[in-house]
Amino acid sequence: MKLFDVYPLNNIVIEKAEGSCLWDNQGTRYLDMYGGHAVISIGHTHPHWVKRIEEQLHKIAFYSNSVIIPLQQQLADKLAVLSGKTDYQLFLCNSGAEANENALKLASFHTGRKKIIAFTKSFHGRTSLAVAATDNPSIVAPVNETENIIFLPFNDINALHECFAKEGNSIAAVITEGIQGVGGIMVASDLFLQTIRSLCNQYGAVFIADSVQCGYGRTGKFFAHDHAGIDADIYSMAKGMGNGFPIGGILIAPHIQPKHGMLGTTFGGNHLACAAALAVLEVMENEELMKQTAENGAYLIEQLKTIPELQNVRGKGLMIGFDVSEKVKNLKKVLLQEYKIFTGEAKPNVIRLLPSLALDRKQVDEFLQSLKQAIIFLNQNPA
């Protein structure tokens, strides 16, 4: 049987990983500045995470949501402490798209309304409504097309005011990332997020903070939206939540009331996933990873800004992007092939850095040194 060929692949087989390092089947070591697409939060194969999952496997891996699963409450309690959203409610699912799908549905149930505001260059996932709110027509199938999504320009406060003035009473939700990831590390301004908050309050709409990529400590605060000093009504989470174990969830403000049967899932919140997610939060807390992320991120951004071939260095914590000039447009490829460093990208010429929050200062310096050498190499060997 053939694999369904939807991914452009690097010709690399990764066999082993530890912290921020990967090894291929030839024994070559790579530095992971991509975190498997922002998924690796506490570091590959962290011993506490491995132990927690291993121990849980010997007890029970799965039972359905028809019984009490105490690990879910333990996870909710720990999330309350680390996120600071102590009076929010937790619903667990399995992925980022599913988290957003549930967030959008819940907003519609809660308000009885249909219209959703999303923004240019947004990415919210590939399920039906999440993909409709994603600004990329090439991944929206005809069946997903809907008139219920209104796209506005990102960071445009006037457009928000105008839209709410015209149809505010039919808006169920506004959904936005705090920093757009797939869109190329575009940081939402504090004023933009504050304006969404106040307009949602004024018109009774739900503010959904898509924190699938930018959340879970990646920016040095638990949610990227926290930098603006506002609370959203729903936060969607996934990627870093399980450090590679599939789990997603939404945090829901107390004024949004549940009803039996309103949301549901077979696998969401299973014992094994909760054990993995608890291990992640325990390590984040014990190793003070959010503080480390803020410090290492600030240092990395400052250093990147001194390199003339990199333009518009931007981001927060360890969610960083920059544009590469035409002369060094093959930088990502050269970093991987010659310097054995994984990075991410966004079209047309953005390099995205999304390493583990446990990346240490020595590894930051190793990356910077290789990056500078790669640029010298490209300047001497133009494409």
Give the footprint of ligand PLP on this chain (CB under 6 A): 95-97, 100, 123-125, 177, 181-182, 210, 212-213, 238
C-beta of 125: minimal distance to ligand PLP in Å? 3
C-beta of 238: minimal distance to ligand PLP in Å? 5
Residue closer to ligand PLP by CB (options 210, 309) is 210
Which residues are 174's β-sheet partners?
117, 207
CA distances from 93 to 5, 96, 226, 251 (A): 27, 9, 23, 11
Cα–Cα distance, 306 to 299 (Å, whole number): 11
Cα–Cα distance, 17 to 21 (Å, whole number): 6
Which residue, among 375, 333, 286, has the nearest Cα to 12 in the 3D structure?
333
Residue closer to ligand PLP by CB (options 206, 364) is 206
C-beta of 127: minimal distance to ligand PLP in Å? 7
C-beta of 216: minimal distance to ligand PLP in Å? 12
Beta-sheet pairing, 341-342 with 29-32: parallel
Beta-sheet pairing, 115-119 with 149-152: parallel
Residue closer to ligand PLP by CB (options 200, 224) is 224
C-beta of 93: minimal distance to ligand PLP in Å? 10
Residue closer to ligand PLP by CB (options 206, 374) is 206
Residue 180: which H helix or E strand, with range? strand 179-180
What is the total residue count of the chain?
A: 383
Cα–Cα distance, 222 to 285 (Å, whole number): 11
DSSP 191-217: HHHHHHHHHHHHHT-EEEEE-TTTTTT
Residue closer to ligand PLP by CB (options 241, 334) is 241
C-beta of 218: minimal distance to ligand PLP in Å? 11
Contact 153, 180 (CB under 8 A): no
Residue closer to ligand PLP by CB (options 36, 181) is 181
Which residues are 351's β-sheet partners?
322, 345
Cα–Cα distance, 293 to 110 (Å, whole number): 36
Contact 14, 28 (CB under 8 A): no
The residue number with the shortest CB distance to ligand PLP is 96
Residue closer to ligand PLP by CB (options 343, 370) is 343
Residue closer to ligand PLP by CB (options 351, 364) is 351
Residue closer to ligand PLP by CB (options 97, 301) is 97
C-beta of 126: minimal distance to ligand PLP in Å? 6
110-123 burial, b at 16+ Cβ within 10 Å, e below that, comes to: bbebebbbbbebbb
C-beta of 176: minimal distance to ligand PLP in Å? 10
C-beta of 268: minimal distance to ligand PLP in Å? 13
CA-based angle 220:175:200, to the nearest 5?
100
Radius of gyration over alpha carbons of the chain, in Å?
21
